[in-house]
Structure formats: structure tokens, C-alpha cells
Amino acid sequence: MLIAVSGGHVVGWHVARSETGTAWSSLLSRIAPPLAAVCDGGDGGDGALKALREIWPSTRVQHCLLHRPSEYHGIPD
């Protein structure tokens, strides 16, 4: 299940077997583009990032640092 949250409230959800770009596009296309989005990188970020860039091209993207610790030295898994 893919879930979009804003201000602590669920603004959209989509049932999917995996986090593909197509699944993320189905979710994001029903939501107005925000100024910024935080991506947790559940599938390595590829599906979500692809959809974000295609559906919301002007939205700034930030990777969640807690979900991507292996990319940052000094932060334990």
C-alpha cells in the first residue's frame, strides 16, 4: 500500500503489489502537486522518484534521512 500524508493527514492511498513507477503515478496523479515532497526510498527510491519527476515536475524532492542511513557515513543501521 502506498500512502501520501500531508500535515499528519492521509491525502491519498493506492493499493499496489510493489512500489513501481506506475503504482506511484496512480497515487500522485490524484493529488495536487506540493511545493516539496519527502521520499522514504522504500524501493530504493526509483519508482517514487520516477513518478515524482513525471507527475510533479516542479516539486522539490527530499530523501528521508532516517530511511536512507547507508548513504550517510556515521549513521548506524
Q: Domain span at residue 7? A: 2-71
Q: Which of 3, 9, 5, 10 is nearest to 24 (CA)?
A: 3
The whole-angstrom separation of Cα 21 and Cα 57 is 14
pLDDT of residue 47: 84
Whether residue 57 lies inside any domain: the answer is: yes
Choose between 38 and 32: higher pLDDT: 32
Q: How many domains is the chain partitioned into structurally?
A: 1
Q: What is the pLDDT of residues 44-56, one digit of tens each?
A: 557 888 899 999 9
Whether residue 77 lies inside any domain: the answer is: no
